[in-house]
């Protein structure tokens, strides 16, 4: 099967390329390296050395029977994208090629504007390219659980049956995103739903939780195949930040009351979920939505779990509460469903003591290169 | 009161400028004339000569005590927009400055891309400009009833209280737009709602029906103050098309079965509604939504009404059913609410025989300049 992975240089894109190559897919990937450009712009780097995508692909192709082919360019340039789809006619398109940081999108006008134009218009070009060159391909689009916000009702998987004044309707699950980044994903969802309904495209939207973890079967094969580990405020997520703070012997910084609950999953489960989605395409015209997470935690839960796990190796970690830079509910109802992937057979990796300790040991190797200045939040949701 | 009207050259923008000037507002307006550019691109013109905005403003300012001031430029250039808001610090911003045609947005990739980037990013710049220079101003944003689509439940005004598994939530009313243009308005709505919630901006979204009519109190003062009458497939709406066909002695062309029901209103009621919205600003942080229409009709209703009215002046009009170029339900439930404006005292102008006959007589004056080639649909929703 021909699989095109957009955003192959990214934290998830690169492991997905190798994983699908190992599954026997013909893998093609695209990147314009805009995330690396943003890293330079905001002055952050991953903890580890991330080899160039060309180096990683070269190394992979020399050591694997299932090659990966790279196209370098920007999907906002529709001619570039059209050429690729015309040439390859992919059956499977996995779309990660979006600006992925909520704090970045909230930093100022230029960054919000870039986020929405890059994400929404790139995705729009992709929809037109698919209609023109591979109408029957399956678009697997990465969305986020953050599209939903924190509603007072159970979060179903993408669609909701409602009754109003005695009449019934099936609606896209109502969204209440909390950043210009999350809004861009909602706009994408709405555009894709229309193209399925209007043109008969088929798509699966993966509303993904916060991904943690560094190692996959393929990244572990060689240091040159690693993906990125970010612990900074822009690209790092809460688990990475806490682990990094623990390595530095600093207190874990919980934003606000810490009652913010979210869905989480291990990077290995991301790969499993994307595979399962690709094995279960919807019919033409159908827009399928999965919630892609394995466990839900509050921010405080995570801090306590890390504290407890590291206590086993005799590390005494303290927890601080920081003024929350984000406008978000710090105590709220949260009950999202992930039934669809569980029914398809997903066996979650859990965020347990063993994982936390091994994660700690991994980051400990890099203790000397941690940049302490990029951990605390400087971007405010209100300013 | 200082009122900034974005899109002052448009069909509604220009009458709104004069109307608010006559109400005693200090009126400032902005346009980049992109709609006139699109007219050139697709090869259509309004039926009547529409004087340049500069000519119209000059004429108005010479004959009125309440002047209108023009800024020429593109709100996608945020520096241009920032300068205006910094200088004026408007209290009221009425935002019409968007690509307004659904068929245009469906014609091809470039036009869909332009529609979404122009509308969504221009509106995003405006939100950032307001936050920076006039956080307490009231943003009156023109949306469309088309954002809702044709759901099987009553269409409430922007928000919906739902119950799911015994728990309650208030959600933005679920949208099911039917073109990239309508999608752009949904994206705007989501961006504005977030900025009200996150930054404390105040905004009223006017989900407007299809506007018809040509004359307002101010446009009737002089030929030089007229607004545009479009009868073409791109900018013309169904009522204008039917009246133009009647003038030509052609059959009225109903798309498909003609059961497509929509909300409609007279241009004079648009002005009244926008005024009422401006007189009733929401609180800081609040996002108020009105459905702005006065009557609902199916496309067939409109054809029959025109047939019946023109029979009174002895014109025998026939009706044809054309293959529908749009993907839309041709028979459906439709029960939208417009209670809010009615409660505020709106007294609708109705689409009655008298209005139809006077509309016919107006278009009859232009019979010789009608371009018969631009009436029938060439843009398809599926191609």
Q: How many CB contacts within 8 angstroms connect chain A with chain B?
A: 129
Q: Name which of B328, B292, B325, B296 is nearest B178 in CA terms.
A: B328
What chain A residue is nearest to B327 in terms of C-alpha separation?
A: A198
- Among B113, B163, B190, the residue with its CB nearest the CB of A187 is B190
- What one-character DSSP code corresponds to residue A173? P
- Among A153, A160, A171, the residue with its CB nearest the CB of B167 is A153
- Residues A152, B160: C-beta atoms closer than 8 Å: no
Quote the minimal CA–CA distance from B318 to chain A in Å.
Answer: 31
Cα(B44)–Cα(B378) distance, integer angstroms? 13
- Residues B174, A169: C-beta atoms closer than 8 Å: yes
Question: Residue A58: CB partners within 8 Å, gap ≥ 6?
Answer: none
Write out the E strands in B240-377.
252-255, 261-266, 287-292, 295-298, 319-322
Cα(A93)–Cα(A5) distance, integer angstroms? 6
> Do A39 and A100 form a contact (C-beta atoms < 8 A)?
no
Q: What is the pLDDT of residues B158-212, one digit of tens each?
A: 999 999 999 999 999 999 999 999 999 999 999 999 999 999 999 999 999 999 9
Whether B383 shows a pLDDT value over 90: the answer reads no
ipTM greater than 0.95, yes or no? Answer: yes
Q: Which residues of A touch B112 (CB under 8 A)?
A: 124, 128
Q: What is the pLDDT of residues A281-315, one digit of tens each?
A: 999 999 999 999 999 999 999 999 999 999 999 99
- Residues A190, B177: C-beta atoms closer than 8 Å: yes
Q: Which residues of B touch A197 (CB under 8 A)?
A: 327
pLDDT at B33: 98
- Choose, from A181, A231, A255, A264, the residue flagged as catalytic: A181
Whether B297 shows a pLDDT value over 80: the answer reads yes
- Residues B183, A190: C-beta atoms closer than 8 Å: yes
- Choose, from A111, A175, A185, A202, the residue flagged as catalytic: A185
pLDDT at A17: 98
* Alpha-carbon distances of B123 from A102, B92, B106, B198, rounded to whole Å: 20, 15, 21, 16
CATH class of A2-374: alpha beta
Q: What is the pLDDT of residues A98-130, one digit of tens each?
A: 999 999 999 999 999 999 999 999 999 999 999
- Residues A169, B171: C-beta atoms closer than 8 Å: no
Whether A383 shows a pLDDT value over 80: the answer reads no
- Among A172, A183, A333, the residue with its CB nearest the CB of B194 is A183
Q: What is the pLDDT of residues A63-105, one digit of tens each?
A: 999 999 999 999 999 999 999 999 999 999 999 999 999 999 9
Cα(A266)–Cα(A145) distance, integer angstroms? 15
Q: What is the pLDDT of residues A324-376, one digit of tens each?
A: 999 999 999 999 999 999 999 999 999 999 999 999 999 999 999 999 999 99
- Residues A194, B186: C-beta atoms closer than 8 Å: no
> Do A190 and B177 form a contact (C-beta atoms < 8 A)?
yes
Cα(A85)–Cα(A131) distance, integer angstroms? 10
Whether B274 shows a pLDDT value over 80: the answer reads yes
Domain range summary for chain A, segments of one domain joined by + = 2-374
- Among A160, A197, A199, the residue with its CB nearest the CB of B164 is A160
Q: What is the pLDDT of residues A20-72, one digit of tens each?
A: 999 999 999 999 999 999 999 999 999 999 999 999 999 999 999 999 999 99
> Do B115 and B298 form a contact (C-beta atoms < 8 A)?
no
Cα(B159)–Cα(B170) distance, integer angstroms? 7
Question: How confident is residue A241, by pLDDT bands cut at 50, 70 and 90?
Answer: very high
State phi, psi for A368 to the nearest 5 degrees.
Answer: -70, -20
The alpha carbon of residue A45 and the mean position of all alpha carbons in its chain are separated, in whole angstroms, by: 18
- The torsion defined by the Cα of B196, B200, B201 and B203, in degrees rounded to 10, comes to 50
B165 is catalytic: no
Q: Name which of A311, A298, A310, A318 is nearest A360 in CA terms.
A: A310
Q: What is the pLDDT of residues B332-375, one digit of tens each?
A: 999 999 999 999 999 999 999 999 999 999 999 999 999 999 99
State phi, psi for A155 to the nearest 5 degrees.
Answer: -90, 105
Whether this prediction's pTM lies above 0.80 is answered by yes
pLDDT at A191: 98
Q: Name which of B107, B129, B128, B105 is nearest B185 in CA terms.
A: B105
Write out the E strands in B130-187.
138-144, 159-164, 167-172
For residues A240-257, average pLDDT? 96
Tell me the angle at which helices B238-247 and B299-311 cross, rounded to the nearest 10 degrees.
30
Q: What is the pLDDT of residues A208-223, one digit of tens each?
A: 999 999 999 999 999 9
Q: What is the pLDDT of residues B112-153, one digit of tens each?
A: 999 999 999 999 999 999 999 999 999 999 999 999 999 999
* Residue B121, both tokens: 């990013």
> Do B207 and B337 form a contact (C-beta atoms < 8 A)?
no
Kindly write down the DSSP assignment for every residue of B6-33, as one continuous string. Answer: ETTTSTTHHHHHHHHHHTT-EEEEEE--
pLDDT at A357: 98
Kindly write down the DSSP assignment for every residue of B255-290, as one continuous string. Answer: ETTS--EEEEEEHHHHHHHHHHHHHSPPPTT-EEEE
- Residues A164, B168: C-beta atoms closer than 8 Å: no
Angle in degrees, CA A268, A270, A276, rounded to 5 = 105
B181 is catalytic: yes
Question: How confident is residue B382, by pLDDT bands cut at 50, 70 and 90?
Answer: confident
Cα(B87)–Cα(A202) distance, integer angstroms? 49
- % chain B with pLDDT above 90: 99
Number of C-beta neighbours around residue B337 at 10 A:
14
3-state helix, strand, coil in chain B (%, to 5): 40, 20, 40
């Amino acid at each position: 099967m021909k699989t095109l992975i957009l955003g192959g240089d990214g934290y998830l894109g690169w492991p997905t390329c190798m994983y699908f190559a190992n599954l026997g897919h013909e893998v093609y990937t695209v990147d314009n390296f805009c995330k690396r450009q943003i890293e330079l712009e905001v002055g952050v780097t991953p903890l580890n050395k991330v080899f160039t995508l060309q180096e990683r692909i070269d190394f992979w192709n020399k050591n694997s029977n299932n090659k990966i082919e790279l196209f370098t360019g920007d999907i906002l340039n529709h001619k570039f994208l059209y050429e690729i789809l015309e040439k390859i006619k992919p059956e499977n398109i996995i779309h990660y090629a979006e600006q992925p940081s909520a704090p970045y999108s909230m930093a100022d006008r230029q960054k919000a504007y870039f986020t929405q134009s890059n994400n929404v218009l790139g995705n729009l070009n992709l929809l037109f390219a698919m209609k023109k060159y591979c109408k029957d391909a399956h678009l697997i689009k990465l969305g986020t659980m953050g599209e939903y916000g924190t509603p007072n009702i159970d979060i179903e998987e993408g669609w909701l049956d409602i009754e109003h004044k005695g009449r019934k309707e099936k609606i896209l699950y109502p969204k209440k995103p909390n950043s210009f980044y999350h809004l861009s994903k909602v706009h994408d969802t709405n555009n894709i739903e229309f193209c399925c309904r209007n043109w008969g495209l088929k798509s699966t939207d993966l509303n993904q939780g916060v991904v943690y973890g560094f190692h996959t079967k393929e990244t572990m094969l060689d240091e040159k195949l690693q993906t990125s580990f970010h612990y900074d405020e822009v690209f790092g997520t809460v688990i990475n930040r806490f682990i990094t703070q623990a390595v530095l012997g600093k207190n874990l910084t919980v934003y606000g009351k810490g009652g913010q609950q979210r869905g989480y999953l291990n990077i290995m489960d991301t790969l499993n979920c994307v595979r399962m989605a690709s094995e279960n395409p919807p019919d033409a015209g159908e827009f399928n939505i999965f919630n892609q997470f394995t466990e839900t935690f509050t921010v405080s839960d995570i801090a306590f779990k890390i504290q407890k796990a590291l206590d086993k190796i005799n590390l005494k970690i303290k927890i601080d509460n920081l003024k929350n830079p984000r406008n978000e509910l710090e105590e709220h109802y949260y009950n999202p469903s992930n039934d669809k992937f569980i029914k398809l057979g997903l066996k979650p990796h859990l965020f347990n003591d063993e994982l936390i300790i091994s994660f700690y040991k991994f980051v400990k190797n890099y203790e000397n290169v941690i940049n302490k200045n990029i951990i605390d939040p400087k971007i405010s949701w209100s300013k």
